[in-house]
């Protein structure tokens, strides 16, 4: 379970992709725009959830998107996962993590952690005490694993802020942190997640515009962190405000986004695209499998410390004990 275990995932930049190589690319339409409302989650945390709600249940390969805010004394103490990946992006503050295999560490502002649960993991994610009482804010995305990888060995990959390449677009009016994928000739670090996902952190200053190609047929969305973004679908334009998730149609080759020249503030959004998986999703909390019998087996394995959960017996995290 070392971070350097053999990568068995799919390539993040699909070869010979018709959208990435389109001669006359077309913009994607907008399927819907959702407001992510605040709700309680974990132990004392609040999240704005925009995927994994009745309005957008399973948007393959995405299972859940949370914009979280966790103060010291709150958090996500010891809990299991099976069958999915989680991607955690720290926007402000820091989060400690620790698992039953002895892996532990801290991700800080601008860092990410890619965690492949595979056949089973038990871990805790707790806010780091910054010493000044401030909250820790970030995004967590749950991604489904292809059926034939759900039984893989668990794996972590931390990505530090300084490792993330940056693309400058439109004479510097647009900045793209290329976390995963490709933007304007800049490729990300490779082999982060097993399920191919593009993750771009886009900042547009007033008067700026970006045309961002995405792989053909991948599901995609943009979650607005700050300001107001104008998305151009070719036929119409739509203004999207903070804390809204814009879900794009599969058809089309690119997303076009801009900020009005007279806007008072910069806009920032996370643009995410993922390879759809043609498989059923049966989810019970942190267990994500393909049929109900596999979910029941996961619950049994977890409660009997078997088939990937052996190390959970008598284990408790150090960082989760603050919740006691």
Binding residues for Fe cation: 79, 81, 123, 125
**Which 3 state secondary structure label does DSSP give 129?**
coil
Q: Count Cβ atoms within 10 A of the Cβ of residue 17 and give its class: 0-12 exposed, 13-18 middle, 19 or more buried.
A: middle
- The span from the CA of 255 to the CA of 221, in Å, is 10
**Which 3 state secondary structure label does DSSP give 306?**
coil
Residue with tokens 């976390």: 179
At 216, list the tokens.
């053909």
Pairing of strands 76-81, 121-127: antiparallel
- The span from the CA of 166 to the CA of 71, in Å, is 30
Binding-site residues from annotation = 79, 81, 123, 125
47 in Cβ contact with 68 (< 8 Å): yes
**Which 3 state secondary structure label does DSSP give 302?**
helix
At 74, list the tokens.
């709150």
Structural element, H or E, at residue 116? strand 112-116
Nearest to 181 by CA among 4, 2, 10, 8: 10
Residue with tokens 């059923």: 280
Q: Which residues is 126 bridged to in the sheet?
A: 96
b/e per residue 110-126 (b: at least 16 CB within 10 A): bbbbbbbbbbbbbbbbb
């Amino acid at each position: 379970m070392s971070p350097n275990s053999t990568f068995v995932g799919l390539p993040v930049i699909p070869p010979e992709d018709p959208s990435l190589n389109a001669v006359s690319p077309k913009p994607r339409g907008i399927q819907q725009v959702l407001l992510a409302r605040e709700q309680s989650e974990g132990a004392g945390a609040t999240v704005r959830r925009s995927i994994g709600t009745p309005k957008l249940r399973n948007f393959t390969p995405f299972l859940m998107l949370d914009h979280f805010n966790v103060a010291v004394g709150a958090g996500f103490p010891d809990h299991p996962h099976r069958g999915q990946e989680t991607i955690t992006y720290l926007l402000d503050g820091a989060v400690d993590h620790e698992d039953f295999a002895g892996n532990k560490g801290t991700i800080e502002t601008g860092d990410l952690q890619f965690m492949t649960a595979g056949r089973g993991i038990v871990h805790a994610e707790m806010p780091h005490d910054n010493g000044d009482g401030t909250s820790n804010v970030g995004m967590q995305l749950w991604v489904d694993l292809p059926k034939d990888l759900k039984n893989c060995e668990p794996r972590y990959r931390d990505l530090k802020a300084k490792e993330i390449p940056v693309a400058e677009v439109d004479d510097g009016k647009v900045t793209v942190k290329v976390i995963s994928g490709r933007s304007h000739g800049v490729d990300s670090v490779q082999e982060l997640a097993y399920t191919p996902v593009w993750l771009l952190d886009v900042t547009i200053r007033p008067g700026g515009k970006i045309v961002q190609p995405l792989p053909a047929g991948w599901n995609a969305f943009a979650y607005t962190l700050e300001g107001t973004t104008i998305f151009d679908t070719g036929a119409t334009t739509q203004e999207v405000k903070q804390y809204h998730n814009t879900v794009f149609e599969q058809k089309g080759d690119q997303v076009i986004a801009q900020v009005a020249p007279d806007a008072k503030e910069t806009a920032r959004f996370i643009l995410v695209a993922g390879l759809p998986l043609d498989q059923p999703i049966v989810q019970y909390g942190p267990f994500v499998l393909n049929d109900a019998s596999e979910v029941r087996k996961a619950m049994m394995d977890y409660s009997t410390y078997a088939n990937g959960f052996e190390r959970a017996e008598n284990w408790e995290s150090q960082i989760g004990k603050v919740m006691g």
